């Protein structure tokens, strides 16, 4: 299958998901011509703001490969990934990302917000001045988990 065919599949999945009460997004992760992960937007059904199609597809693909390295895989999404999904894709080292509908099209045709316009500029502010203030409080052993991590991984 070519990129357009994979994207057509995600769009069909998204339409079916809407008909079943879900959100208008779907995603698949493909490796060596095989779907190794798939997901549809289940945010409202699960009352879970992290139940985005891309996250579910990435989770399933990682579980199937027993690895967090998806550098040899491709993510196909019916809509341009939001910052949360993009972050997950980067953490998983996704090899390529293809999408069918841009974030601006989602805003124009479905009144979905453009999270990039709001969240990325907010992250440029000092933590305490963000829309949701970030406040760091020093504790005696705040860095202990990292020391343990280094000990375990450098043995």
Q: Contact 124/94 with Cβ under 8 angstroms?
A: no
Q: Contact 57/33 with Cβ under 8 angstroms?
A: no
Q: What is the C-alpha to C-alpha distance for residues 56 and 22, in angstroms, rounded to an integer?
A: 14
In which residue are the tokens 């891309």 written?
54
Q: Which of 54, 60, 80, 124 is catalytic?
A: 54
Q: What is the C-alpha to C-alpha distance for residues 98 and 74, in angstroms, rounded to an integer?
A: 8
Q: What is the C-alpha to C-alpha distance for residues 39 and 37, in angstroms, rounded to an integer?
A: 7
Length of the chain: 155
54 is catalytic: yes
Q: What is the C-alpha to C-alpha distance for residues 57 and 27, in angstroms, rounded to an integer?
A: 6
Active-site amino acid positions: 54
């Amino acid at each position: 299958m070519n990129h357009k065919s994979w994207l057509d599949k995600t769009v069909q999945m998204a339409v079916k998901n809407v008909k079943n009460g879900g959100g208008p997004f779907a995603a698949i992760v493909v490796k060596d011509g095989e779907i190794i992960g798939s997901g549809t937007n289940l945010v409202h059904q699960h009352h879970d703001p992290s139940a985005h199609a891309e996250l579910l597809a990435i989770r399933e693909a990682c579980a199937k490969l027993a690895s967090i390295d998806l550098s040899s895989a491709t993510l196909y999404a019916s809509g341009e990934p939001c910052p949360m999904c993009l972050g997950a894709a980067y953490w998983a080292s996704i090899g390529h990302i293809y999408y069918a509908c841009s974030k601006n099209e989602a805003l124009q045709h479905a009144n979905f917000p453009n999270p990039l316009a709001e969240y990325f500029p907010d992250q440029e502010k000092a933590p305490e001045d963000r829309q949701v203030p970030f406040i760091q409080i020093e504790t005696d052993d705040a860095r202990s988990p990292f020391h343990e991590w280094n000990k375990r991984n450098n043995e």
